[in-house]
Amino acid sequence: MGLPPNPLKAVFPIVSVYQGPEPTYDFLGTGFYIDSDGLFLTAKHVCQVPENEYSAVMLGLPGSEPVSYQISHIKYSENLDIALGQVEGVEDIQPLKIASENAPVNYDVVTAEFSGTCTQRIEGGRIAVFFHPYFRKGNVVCFYPSTFPESVPTSCQELSFPALKGASGAPVIVEQTGLVIGMIVGNIQRELLPSQIEGFTNGEKYTEEVKYVLPSAKAISWEHLAEFVKLSTK
């Protein structure tokens, strides 16, 4: 088993819907299907915009109109950044399967997310949302227990690529097997070696230290995803 033939039938952007004279949409993050009936996972903070409806947007072939489907039955983990929801009416879903063990750190992992999404004013003065999927490839740098911002020790992964805005909720997929070993929830920052800059002021020499940080994506590990799905679907 490898990657699904069409990842955009497994991974989708999530939007909030503001009802008015004309509905408007705000892009929130990414979700991914785990069964053919429309059950999906995403990050909890993606679906916590108050008093709004949520929709899953399915993308078709280039040039075709995206179609939105209402999200319902959202359940949130009490302690972790995980949410489970349902999308009804979507056909030809290619769900992803959650792993049952970690993959070696030297295995390639990929993710699909929608950080390239943008808004643009179109004819008639309306604001349209244009969804641009991005596919990133790298590897797991390390597995580690996280205690912040989580309130309980949480098995997490640091990835070799950053999580850009909109990547929250995206799956971390082992390229070789197609299994989901994690879900992106944010970034962690690793401090790089500082640069020493020397200069002169009024003839006196001074040294300034400039610090740099490297963002790396943080993912919640597969065991928490599998456990939450099991508890939520009893």
Domain locations along the chain: 7-232
CA-nearest of 223, 224, 229 to 85 is 229
Tokens of 130: 């244009």
**Residue 199: what pLDDT?**
74
**Residue 60: what pLDDT?**
66
Residue with the bigger pLDDT between 146 and 193: it is: 146
Per CATH, domain 7-232 is 2.40.40.20: no
Residue 115 pLDDT more than 60? yes
Residue 194 pLDDT more than 80? no
Please state, in angstroms and rounded to a whole number, the distance separating the CA atoms of residues 69 and 56: 5
Find out whether 142 and 105 touch, Cβ atoms under 8 Å: yes
196-223 pLDDT, tens digit per residue, is 777 777 777 777 777 777 889 999 999 9
Tokens of 162: 């950053």
Instruction: Give me the amino acid identity at 100.
Output: S
**Residue 50: what pLDDT?**
64
Residue with the bigger pLDDT between 158 and 67: it is: 158
Q: Which residues, other chains included, contact 17 with Cβ-Cβ below 8 Å and sequence gap of 6+? A: 23, 24, 25, 52, 53, 54, 55, 68
Q: What is the mean pLDDT of residues 123-136?
A: 79
Burial of 199 (0-12, 13-18, 19+ CB in 10 A): exposed
Residue 224 pLDDT more than 90? yes
25-62 pLDDT, tens digit per residue, is 788 999 999 999 999 999 999 987 665 678 888 876 56
**Residue 192: what pLDDT?**
75
137-192 pLDDT, tens digit per residue, is 999 999 999 988 888 999 999 999 999 989 999 999 999 999 999 999 999 887 77
- Rounded to whole angstroms, the maximal C-alpha distance in the chain is 74
